Amino acid sequence: MQTSDILVVLAGAALVVYGVFGILRRYVFLQTRCTARVPGAILGMERTETEHGDDDRVTRTYYIKYHYFVDGVEYSKKRSLSKRQHRALGKDDEFTVVYDPSGPKRHYVLEIKFRLLLMIGLMALGALLLYFPYYDGLL
């Protein structure tokens, strides 16, 4: 195996592990521990634009800053969103935060959809990268 093959295998393994742990975190850890619900409120929404060199491409990133209260303590978070989620949340001022009663910082927002297809796509790409060095030997 050459050095480039080893790097491809490592990148593939990293993508697969990242996808598996992302799915486990959301569906096993967060959804089993987070049982209490409180309303959350949007503090602000923003969009950043990054221009890429000479080809006039612009990348837009959407963010939401929100907060929620548990037992009189305020918790706030800033996170990135997809364009569709940004539009959907921009219409409402309140949403539901599901949190872990033993650690209220651990939470998820019910209205912000987990990007399951993205995680599965990353895992599939990682699996292809893991298979890549062996594919060269078959030709």
Tens digits of residue pLDDT in 19-72: 888 777 766 777 788 889 999 988 888 888 877 776 777 888 888 888 999 999
Q: Around Cβ 44, how many Cβ atoms within 10 Å? A: 9
pLDDT of 13 > 70? The answer is yes
* Torsion 25-28-29-32 (CA) sign: positive
Q: Collect all residues with Cβ–Cβ distance below 8 Å to 139 and sequence separation of at least 6.
A: none
pLDDT at 135: 63
Q: Show the domain range for 71.
A: 3-138
Whether pTM exceeds 0.85: no
Say how many domains are in the chain: 1
pLDDT at 75: 95
Nearest to 110 by CA among 136, 128, 92: 92
pLDDT at 41: 87
In the block, residue with structure tokens 């959907």: 88
Structure tokens at 41: 């409120």
Tens digits of residue pLDDT in 14-30: 888 888 887 777 667 77
Gap between the Cα atoms of 21 and 30, Å rounded: 12
* Torsion 11-14-20-25 (CA) sign: negative
